[in-house]
Structure 1
Amino acid sequence: MNRIGIAGAGAFGTALAVTLAQAGREVVLWGRHAARVHEMRAARENPLLTGVALQENVSVSAEIGDIAACDAVLLTVPTQALSGLLDDHGAALDGRALVACCKGVDLATGRGPTALIAEACPGATPAVLTGPSFAADIARGLPTALTLACAEADAGAHLQDRLSTPSLRLYRSTDVVGAELGGALKNVMAIAAGIVIGSGLGESARAALITRGFAEMQRFARAYGADPETLAGLSGFGDLVLTCTSAQSRNFGYGVALGEGAYFDPHVTVEGAPTARAVAAIAQARAIDMPVTQSVAHVIDGRRSIQEAVKILLSRPLKEE
């Protein structure tokens, strides 16, 4: 079967379906809610991505067997929902190339997406697709470059060929841990950057935050055996810049709302919040210096005010860069 399956009919999954279909691929887009799937099938549009029509070579289904029939499946559900998806359907998806398209660390286990895949589907080939991207840009065919990381080099090359399109350029890596951590940790830094802007601390402070946050990301990745250079690529630095500077970023927007003391829709997925909690706990247990992440975790949990967090960060000992 040469079709590509996509598990998760949200905005990002739909955007990937559209760009792959535009390049001539046969795509099956799966959603867990039958009523929503029926609406999308009838309207040929996802209400989360208005104005983008689904092509004829995109089939929309609520039957897991339809994507289980594909040899490659992109998993586009949020990180905190990935374990549930694999618990429910891992047996049906085992034995395939399973590409995680979510960014974060599972709060319950402290694991990244590919580790969750490997445990639930031991016969699968885990990979991760990550980097600076917004669903709306991908769906509109705007140029986007991402990292495709797979520990098996040959399998990664095959996936790179199948998933690349004229507007979606994929760069291959075998450093799965580094790619995952870059995508996860940049969301935490985006919340921090949003807090900086929402609190009125200014653009200079945001630039400093991004720079020190990037050093923190590399430090954590190194402790997990990742290549720090991976973090300097699309999956780390590239995604960090985009997410910390764009109003389209949900994590940045959440941080701005925290800084302003404004309302933020609790139904909007903010991957950086549970990731901050998980990474802060890991960093404390392993004595990894993560002051920005710790501050974000304390602020979102209400254990520290923004003013207290800023004061603590600014009072850290002076040292060489």
Structure 2
Amino acid sequence: MGSITTRPPVQPSLSYESIATPPSSEAGRDTFSSVETRRQPDEEPASPPSQLEKWLCGLRGVVLGVVVGIVLGLVLNAVNLPGAAATWIGTPGRLFIRALECLVPLLVFSGLVVSMTIADSEDLRVLLRSVAMYCLCVICGLGVHVLVFYPLLLRTFIRNANPFDWLAKMVRAQLFALANFIASCCRWASQLGVDGAAVGTPIAVVFMAQVSGVSIDPADYLAIWLASAVGSIGVGPVPSTGLVLIMTVWKTVFPSEALPAGFAFIIATDWLIDRLHTVVNVTCDTVVCRVVAHLVCDPCEKLQEEGELPRAQIPL
């Protein structure tokens, strides 16, 4: 029997050039074109949301907060907690707010110092000019409101009254408000006469929009004014609540925009602006009380006619 010789399988010869050489670009282009022709056409991009949709989206959180607040108020009213228990429950919240009031100015000041050391001298000059212009606009707006609007209001309802004489006699109350920036020194209706927040909040929101490059159209200006006027009624007579109102108005008018970095400068200047807001709020309360007393029946005039005045009565 003859011998059968087996040959080893022939291995394909692979060289470095055959491995390193990529496939032909023409073949790859043909394959890409065939895949591209089989791809389904993309869907049309969705249209951007309208301004009304933006406002409704921003109001969702506000409406939810109002509903939750009403429910909690009804529950607490039904439980009828004693005064000591209610005070004990609210003490941790007040301590937390007081701690925030002490820490936030330090954090903001440290952040401003760091940004000033990093920023260029020209940028720093522009930034300080913008903040100074914001403070000047707020002071001018509040001054016009106190020195023009309130005298016109008094002269409209009280013909024989000297408005500036009345405002001059409110200096002690205004100084008290300027010192502690708490409008609760007026016990009644201190949450309704909040003209200071209603005037200063739109200026702050417009300043933040201009610094961050957000465009504002006439509809946005109207929305800012309405949201500030309505939202200021719910601001409590406690320090720095105007910051919460500014954030609420910003998210209501610009729901798709994040809170800009310029809000840090609003916080940094709040120690001065909030005191001026409180002065205007207290002045508003006194002016409204004077008008209401004249329209209803001025008790001071009756007591003067009868020849007797209460001990604590200050002649105005």
Same fold (TM over 0.5): no
| Larger strand proportion of the pair | 1
For Structure 1 versus Structure 2, the TM-score category normalised by the shorter chain is: under 0.3
**TM-score, length-scaled by structure 1:** 0.24
**Max radius of gyration: which structure?**
2
**TM-score, length-scaled by structure 2:** 0.24
